[in-house]
Amino acid sequence: MADTESEQGSPFWRFSLRFYRQPGAADACIALQDSCGVDVNILLFFLWLATARRCVPPAVARAVCAKVGPWRDDVVAPLRTLRRRLKDGSSLVERNTAELFRTKIKAVELESERLQQEAMFALADGLATESVPTVEAAARANVAAYEQVLARTFAPDPVEVLIATLSAGKHGAGR
């Protein structure tokens, strides 16, 4: 992504762009998405809230997931599925042409994620969160609340990569 993209949008969107670019963060997010059904945007939202030491109770996490779910299911996920299917090319369309089309779909998918994140950012101030002493404590609590909502235990290795990345503070958090 171009640097100008990271200068636009909400503080949450800018955080996500910077955080996702940190070594290991993208791979950890995709691993959780593919193995546990994690919505990476929701996970990033909960991590972003943690940078302000905001702890999201499970009921609030459930409400966020319910609010975001229709957009993810109807818009983001189908675009992702299409982009991934096009990765292997097409037997009908010449490979370079198919790849150019895939690149356009990828841009639309990214825009759908940005729109989701902007809508989530608008929810942030109204969320009933609790203040905790550290970013790490908030991040761990928020991940646990998300696990509870999904009724899944996330793979520990990617979670630890994300917590370590967040704790390192190289992502330029803030509002």
For the whole model, what pTM was predicted?
A: 0.89
One-letter identity of residue 70: P
Element holding 46 (H helix, E strand) = helix 40-51
* pLDDT tens digits, 41-97: 999 999 999 999 999 999 999 999 999 999 999 999 999 999 988 887 767 888 888
* pLDDT tens digits, 122-174: 999 999 999 999 999 999 999 999 999 999 999 999 999 999 999 887 554 44
User: If DSSP codes are grouped into helix, strand and coil, which group holds residue 37?
Assistant: coil
Residue 41 DSSP symbol = H
**How would you classify the pairing of strands 54-55 and 130-131?**
antiparallel
Dig out the tokens for 1 from the structure. Answer: 């992504």
Residues 6+ apart with CB under 8 A from 164: none
Q: Could you tell me which residues are beta bridge partners of residue 159?
A: none
Q: Where are the domains of the chain?
A: 10-168
CB 120 within 8 A of CB 41: yes
* pLDDT tens digits, 88-98: 776 788 888 88
Residue with the bigger pLDDT between 22 and 2: it is 22
Report d(CA 27, CA 161) in Å as an integer. Answer: 9
Element holding 106 (H helix, E strand) = helix 95-124
Average pLDDT of the chain is: 91
pLDDT above 70 as % of the chain: 91
